[in-house]
Structure formats: structure tokens, C-alpha cells
Amino acid sequence: MAPQPFDWSQYFTLANELAKRQEESALRSALSRAYYYVYHLALQRAQANGFTTSSGEGTHKQLWRNFNGSPEPDCQKLAQIAGRLKEKRERADYDDNYKRLADEIPEMLADAQDFALRLQRLNPRHPNPASARQ
């Protein structure tokens, strides 16, 4: 019997749990888990529509370009939300100083939830790499 695939929504659950703590490490981890929740939801959808990655460029950049390059405005909106989350995740993972970290957590969690709901409402055939703007 094959193992069940990982349920990426567990990352969002974890992000919410970590966001309730006061330690900076927990808050930084909350940002990171929320971004990766969104990333994996988007990656699964894109792959279901034929998206593949090529070597020489990061998977994240290719994925979000696929969404942003779609002629579907809702895909472009998803790329915008993801871009904000990715920027915050990178700051949380790499910057020694993250001013107002705790203040950004509620907005970041709301963005991740908004992304998931928008993706769920999006026609399943989007994003389609074949229709992307070059």
C-alpha cells in the first residue's frame, strides 16, 4: 500500500499555532510555513496542468512566473499574493533583523488563507503553462 501524500494544509495549521507564540523563532517559522503551504498548493495545481521546471533557475521563480504569465487575471492576483508571502518568508529566513515581525503575522496568515481560497475557486484548468505570456 502506497503512503498517502503529505497534506500541505498541515503547514498552515502549524503556522497558526506558531503565530500564537512570542518567540521570534516561532514567528519566523510561522511565516516560512505559511509561504510553503501556498507554494505547495500552487505547485500541485500547476503540475496538474502540465507545469514542469527546468534546471538553471529556481523552482519558486518558475512557478510564480507561470501564474503571473497566465492571461487569467485571477492567476496574476495569486502571483501577487505569493510574491508578498515569498518576500516575507525570505526576510524571516535570512535577515538578522526583522522589524515589526509580530505585526506582520496576522496579515501574512490572512494572505495565505486568501490565496488558498482563491486557488480553490479558480477554474481547475488554470494556470495552464501553454497559455502563458512569453
Domain locations in the chain? 9-48+59-124
Q: Residue 121's pLDDT is what?
A: 97
| Res. 3: pLDDT tops 90 | no
Among candidate residues 42, 114, 59, 103, the one with its CA nearest the CA of residue 81: 114
Among candidate residues 111, 123, 98, the one with its CA nearest the CA of residue 12: 111
Three cell numbers, residue 38? 501556498
| Res. 134: pLDDT tops 60 | no
Q: Residue 2's pLDDT is what?
A: 76
Residue 107's pLDDT band, with cuts at 50, 70 and 90, is very high
48-73: b (≥16 Cβ within 10 Å) or e? ebebebeeeeeebebbbebbbbbebe
Question: 114 and 81 in contact (C-beta within 8 Å)?
Answer: yes
pLDDT tens sequence across 19-73: 999 999 999 999 999 999 999 999 999 999 999 999 999 999 999 999 999 999 9
Mean pLDDT of 125-129: 92
Q: Residue 129's pLDDT is what?
A: 85
Q: Residue 131's pLDDT is what?
A: 81
Is the Cα dihedral 102, 103, 104, 109 positive or negative? positive
pLDDT > 90 fraction of the chain, expressed in percent and rounded: 91
Tell me the CATH number for domain 9-48+59-124: 1.20.120
For residue 58, the SS3 value is coil
Provide CB contacts within 8 A for 21, sequence distance 6+. Answer: 27
Q: Residue 130's pLDDT is what?
A: 84
